[in-house]
Amino acid sequence: MRAYERLLNYVKFDTASDSNSPTCPSTPGQLEFGKYLVEEMKGIGVQDVAIDENGYVFGTIPSTIDGWDGTVIGFIAHMDVVRDVPATNIKPRVVKNYDGTTIVLDPDANVTLSPEEFPELLGYKGMDLIVTDGKTLLGADNKAGIAEIMTMAETLIKDPSIKHGKIRIAFTPDEEIGRGADKFDVAAFGAKFAYTADGGAFGQAEYETFNASAVKVKINGKNIHPGSAKDKMKNAILIGMAFNALLPECERPEHTEQYEGFYHLNSIGGSVETAEMAYILRDHDAGKNEQRKVLMQQAADKLNAQYGPNTIVLEMTDSYRNMAEQIKPHWHLIETAFEAIREVGGEPVSVPVRGGTDGSRLSFMGLPCPNLGTGGHNYHGKQEYACVQSMDKASEMLIKIAEKYAVK
Which domain CATH number covers 48?
3.40.630.10
Mean pLDDT to the nearest integer, 2-10: 98
State which of 320, 340, 362 marks the end of a domain: 320
**Any catalytic annotation for residue 84?**
no
Do 344 and 271 fall within a single domain? no
In whole angstroms, give the CA distance from residue 276 to residue 219. Answer: 6
Do 305 and 359 fall within a single domain? no
* Phi, psi of 81, deg, nearest 5: -125, 165
Which domain CATH number covers 260?
3.30.70.360
Whole-number pLDDT of residue 284: 95
Whole-number pLDDT of residue 178: 87
CB 399 within 8 A of CB 162: yes
In whole angstroms, give the CA distance from residue 390 to residue 101. Answer: 19
How many domains would you assign to the chain?
2
Do 130 and 253 fall within a single domain? no
Mean pLDDT to the nearest integer, 8-20: 96
Mean pLDDT to the nearest integer, 23-36: 98
Rounded to two decimals, what is the model's pTM? 0.90
Do 327 and 316 fall within a single domain? no
Whole-number pLDDT of residue 120: 97
Q: Which residues contact 79 (CB under 8 A, 6 or more apart)?
A: 15, 25, 30, 33, 34, 37, 55, 57, 142, 143, 146, 171, 172, 173
Whole-number pLDDT of residue 355: 84
Judged against a pLDDT cut of 90, whether residue 2 lies above it is answered with: yes
Short-list 176, 147, 181, 171, CA closest to 376 = 147
Whole-number pLDDT of residue 119: 97
Judged against a pLDDT cut of 80, whether residue 10 lies above it is answered with: yes
Do 338 and 284 fall within a single domain? no
In whole angstroms, give the CA distance from residue 2 to residue 76. Answer: 19
Distances (CA, A) of 190 to 60, 67, 267, 393: 10, 18, 39, 27
Whole-number pLDDT of residue 395: 98
Of the residues 14, 40, 80, 141, which is catalytic?
Answer: 80
Judged against a pLDDT cut of 80, whether residue 368 lies above it is answered with: yes
Do 202 and 217 fall within a single domain? no
Do 381 and 272 fall within a single domain? no
State which of 303, 320, 337 marks the end of a domain: 320
Whole-number pLDDT of residue 229: 93
Domain boundaries, position 311: 211-320
**Any catalytic annotation for residue 175?**
yes
Short-list 191, 309, 176, 313, CA closest to 243 = 313
Whole-number pLDDT of residue 212: 93
pLDDT tens, 322-361?
999 999 999 999 999 999 999 999 999 999 999 888 999 9
Judged against a pLDDT cut of 90, whether residue 17 lies above it is answered with: yes
Judged against a pLDDT cut of 80, whether residue 408 lies above it is answered with: no
Mean pLDDT to the nearest integer, 232-239: 97
Of the residues 40, 141, 154, 175, which is catalytic?
Answer: 175
pLDDT tens, 40-97?
999 999 999 999 999 999 999 999 999 999 999 999 999 999 998 999 999 999 999 9
Do 109 and 169 fall within a single domain? yes
Do 27 and 137 fall within a single domain? yes
Short-list 195, 203, 208, CA closest to 73 = 195
Residue 377: pLDDT band (50, 70, 90) is very high
Do 167 and 58 fall within a single domain? yes
Whole-number pLDDT of residue 356: 83
Measure CA of the first residue to CA of the last residue in the chain; give whole Å: 29
Whole-number pLDDT of residue 407: 82
CB 127 within 8 A of CB 134: no
Judged against a pLDDT cut of 90, whether residue 319 lies above it is answered with: no
Mean pLDDT to the nearest integer, 136-143: 98
State which of 320, 336, 354 marks the end of a domain: 320
Residue 7: pLDDT band (50, 70, 90) is very high
Mean pLDDT to the nearest integer, 94-120: 97
CB 298 within 8 A of CB 243: no
Judged against a pLDDT cut of 90, whether residue 201 lies above it is answered with: yes
Whole-number pLDDT of residue 301: 98
Whole-number pLDDT of residue 90: 98
Do 311 and 375 fall within a single domain? no
Whole-number pLDDT of residue 114: 97
Do 313 and 375 fall within a single domain? no
